[in-house]
A = this chain, B = another copy of it.
Amino acid sequence: MKKDEPMSICPCAITIAMLSSKWKILILRELLKGTCRYRDLRERVFGVSQKMLTQSLKELEADGLVSRRIYPEVPPRVEYSLTDDGNSLRPVIQVLDDWGAHYVAEKDPDYVATRFNLDAPKNNWMKIPYNESL
């Protein structure tokens, strides 16, 4: 790869960059099921802090994947849902899910456990309800 060659941007790197902050995929996964209030996401995306949830939602909104609707009520109500672009991620997330499921199924469970700190009692990341399919 010469330095003076014209370059372009790797599309798969773009996608990974957009999805790779710690909680985003779990948030998107939840929103794939349908519109959701902020507090619902806090409950369902197990382990996410309020700061990270807010921050992730903001970025997802800036990226055009999520839309935010505020109802002028007291107490306030805010609903999050996927945009068309967000929904277009469904097959992507599905493929990621399938590959991951196949990977863990064939791997040494101990390796997977240590690799992702599943043992640590404090670790809530990656957790989803048992037997929940995408």
Contact = CB atoms under 8 A, between A and B. Distances in A.
A100 interface: yes
The majority secondary structure among interface residues of chain A is: helix
A118 B106 CA distance: 39
A1 interface: yes
A120 interface: no
B97 A85 contact: no
Contacts of A134: 12
A57 to B, nearest CB: 16
A93 interface: yes
Closest 9 A-B residue pairs measured CB to CB?
Answer: A11-B100, A20-B20, A15-B100, A14-B100, A11-B101, A12-B96, A12-B97, A6-B130, A15-B96
